[in-house]
């Protein structure tokens, strides 16, 4: 069984008053089997970060679904998703997202809790 499935993911960013609309993802579907090693490639602005944020449930798709181990991410409660991220996901941000008022040690603890 696929451990990760993206089904018809679509993401449209809109400005606060709905003026500008950017379609970042248009019907993205794929699945990943256990043990597979997958790279997402594309030019700058093609939607890689948007896709990864949605796969990690840091952002929500405009439509479509992400299934982790057959379970829809949108059906998980925030608390369950937090536990899932802690136990199963590693995420290296392009910019490190460190909190500069925290020590290095506290930044690491932030990632763990």
Q: Pick one of 13, 91, 102, 109: the residue that binds ligand ADP (CB under 6 A).
A: 13
Interface region with Mg ion, contact rule CB under 5 A, candidates 41-49, 54-62, 67-75, 82-90: 41-49
Can you tell me whether residue 23 is helix, strand or coil?
strand
d(CA 11, CA 23): 6
Q: Pick one of 2, 10, 31, 49: the residue that binds Mg ion (CB under 5 A).
A: 49
* Phi and psi at residue 47, to the nearest 5°: 110, 10
Encoded one letter per residue, x for contact with Mg ion by CB under 5 A and - for no contact, window 89-108 reads --------------------
Binding status of residue 61 toward ligand ADP by CB under 6 A: no
d(CA 32, CA 47): 18
């Amino acid at each position: 069984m696929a451990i990760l499935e993206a089904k018809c993911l679509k993401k449209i960013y809109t400005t606060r008053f709905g003026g500008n609309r950017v379609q970042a993802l248009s019907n993205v579907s794929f699945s990943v089997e256990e043990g597979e090693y997958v790279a997402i490639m594309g030019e700058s602005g093609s939607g890689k970060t948007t896709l990864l944020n949605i796969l990690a449930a840091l952002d929500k798709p405009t439509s479509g679904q992400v299934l982790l181990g057959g379970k829809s991410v949108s059906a998980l409660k925030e608390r369950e998703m937090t536990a899932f991220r802690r136990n199963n996901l590693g995420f290296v941000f392009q910019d490190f997202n460190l909190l500069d008022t925290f020590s290095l040690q506290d930044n690491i603890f932030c990632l763990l809790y």
